[in-house]
Structure formats: C-alpha cells, structure tokens
Amino acid sequence: MKNIGIVTGASSGLGKGIAIEIAKGFDIDELWLIARRKERLVELGKEIYENYGVNVVLMSLDLIDEKSLQKISERLESQKPNIKILVNSSGFGVMGDSSEMNRKVQEDMILLNCKALFSLTNICTNYMSRGSGILQIASVAGFCPQPYFAVYSATKAFVLSYSMALSKELKKRGISVSALCPGPVNTEFFDICERDAKMENMIKKMFIKSPNFVVKRAIKGYLKKKTVIVPGITMKLLSIIEGLYIKQLSSILAYKIYKKFN
C-alpha cells in the first residue's frame, strides 16, 4: 500500500513550506499538493521531485466547491492509499466591519476555513492508520474573538475546538491531531486580508514571524504529537492569557467523563 501525504494550501505560505519539510523528512511515496493556482503547484511539484525524489500529485482545486471534495474522495477511493499526514492549510481572512462587509466573502471564509477543513479531515481519516497524523492550521485568533476580524477569528475557534476534541477521539486509533496556532506570519495572507479594508495593523506587524520560523515549529510540534502548537514566546504567553490551559483541561475532563459514562 502506498504511503502518501496531503497538503492543502500548498501554493504559498505555510502550506508550501510544510509540504517541502514533509518531502524532505517524511517516509512517504507520494505527496498530494492541493490549491487553486496550478502554475504555483507545478513549480513546487518540480522543486520537490527534483530535490527530494518524492512523487507528487497536483490537484488544482477550489475547496469551497463541493465537487472538489468529491474529486479528492474518488481518487482516494480508487487508490486506497495509507495517508501518513494530512495538512489543512488552505484558508483566508478578510478584515473589516462584519455588518458592512460583503456577505459572500464572509460565507466563503466559513466554507473554506471550516467546512472544507472538516470535510477533508473526515474523508481522510478513513484512509489513516496507527502512526498517521493531521496538522490543522488554526491561529491564535482562535483563542480571541477579534472585532473587525470577527468571522475569521470565529472560523479559527472552530478549527481549534474541533481539532482538540478530535485528537481525543482518534487517540484510540493511534492517529494524532495537532492544531497549529501562529500569530501573524509574513505570507500572502495579509495581501488578501487587508485588500478591501485597508486596515494596516501596526501591532500585528510588530510581532510578525517568518513562514520558515513557523513551519519549523509546526513540524517539531507535530512530530511530538502536541495537540496545540503555538510558535514563539509572545504568542505562547498570549494564548495562555486567552485560556489555552483551561481549554485543554476542560477537553481532557470532558473526555474522561464521556469515557466513564459510555
């Protein structure tokens, strides 16, 4: 059986960086790279194959479209691989006053950041085995309901909560789930984020990290099977103030109570 890795959002930023690290260091036969921009995927696929000898499957798909999820599902069903790692990095955020912003854009944020992430995770767990793992790209925004980033931070709260709970459920199958919660990272994310709102956020810019810094910590945390990975000391402190440990404790308690009575 083929061992594969799947990375969404592989055309740029964190997804691209993580895909390269997986190709470098993970024992897989094939890496599936997913995003909309085909030319970016072709470029990355070439780089990965030439430098690390890993076969790539390029899937230029819009994950907001249900048909894209069907395509992935059908390919998995026809090949029946063992998914060693799934990375859900496709996502976007737009800043602004939620009541004044375009509704479709906000709905798309929910569809991509939450619905597509859930569906793909749910599909892929059927092809995972002991030792497999899932790396979800959440955000420190998931700890804090952020005014003028209301829908985005709510989508990341969903990713964080879902991933923390799922990590308990999948433990019995030997599958790890990690939620990466970075602060601001210097990727194309902010070009899209501030395109319409033109809200230059100086505080965020003060704490911005390079994608390389975040990717390295993401892989390290994933390999340690950490449920929540928060890169950098400032963001760690922020996540503690915003209740990370209380969330973790209540999730463990909820799991134990469920186990005791079921």
Ligand X SMILES: NC(=O)C1=CN([C@@H]2O[C@H](COP(=O)(O)OP(=O)(O)OC[C@H]3O[C@@H](n4cnc5c(N)ncnc54)[C@H](OP(=O)(O)O)[C@@H]3O)[C@@H](O)[C@H]2O)C=CC1
Chain contacts with ligand X (rule: CB under 6 A): 8-9, 11-15, 35-37, 40, 62-64, 89-93, 112, 137, 139, 182, 184-185, 187-189, 192
CB of 81 to ligand X, least distance (A): 21
The interface partner of residue 112, options being ligand X, ligand AKB, none and the CB cut-off 5 to 8 Å by kind, is ligand X
Residue type, 67: K
Q: With CB cut-offs between 5 and 8 Å by kind, which of ligand X, ligand AKB, none does residue 132 bind?
A: none
Per CB under 6 A, 140 contacts ligand AKB: yes
The minimum distance between CB 236 and ligand X, in angstroms, equals 14
Q: Write the DSSP symbol of residue 89.
A: -
Answer positive or negative: Cα dihedral of 111, 174, 230, 236: positive
Binding mask 90-109 for ligand AKB (x = CB under 6 A): ---x----------------
- Torsion (CA) 30, 36, 37, 38 in degrees, nearest 10: 50
Binding test (CB under 6 A) with ligand AKB, winner from 141, 157, 164, 244: 141
Please work out the total of residues on this chain that contact ligand AKB, with binding judged by CB under 6 A: 9
Question: Which range, of 74-82, 98-106, 178-186, 246-254, touches ligand AKB by CB under 6 A?
Answer: 178-186
User: Considering CB distances under 5 to 8 angstroms, the limit depending on partner class, which of ligand AKB, ligand X, none binds residue 209?
Assistant: none
In terms of Cα–Cα distance, which of 90, 128, 99, 98 is closest to 9?
Answer: 90
> Scanning the structure block, which residue is given the tokens 């000391």?
233
Does position 157 bind ligand AKB by CB under 6 A? no
* Cβ nearer to ligand AKB, comparing 64 with 144: 144
Pairing state between β 3-8 and 176-180: unpaired
Q: Which residues contact 18 (CB under 8 A, 6 or more apart)?
A: 7, 87, 89, 135, 215, 218, 219
Closest to 14 (Cα-Cα) out of 127, 92, 70, 77: 92
Residues 6+ apart with CB under 8 A from 119: 69
DSSP string, 114-179: IIIHHHHHHHHGGG--TT-EEEEE--GGGGS--TTSHHHHHHHHHHHHHHHHHHHHTGGGT-EEEE
The mark string for 38-67 relative to ligand AKB (x by CB under 6 A, - otherwise) is ------------------------------
Taking CB under 6 A as the rule, which mask of x and - marks residues 181-220 in contact with ligand AKB?
-xxx----x--------------x----------------
Q: Where on the chain is the footprint of ligand AKB (CB under 6 A)?
A: 93, 139-141, 182-184, 189, 204
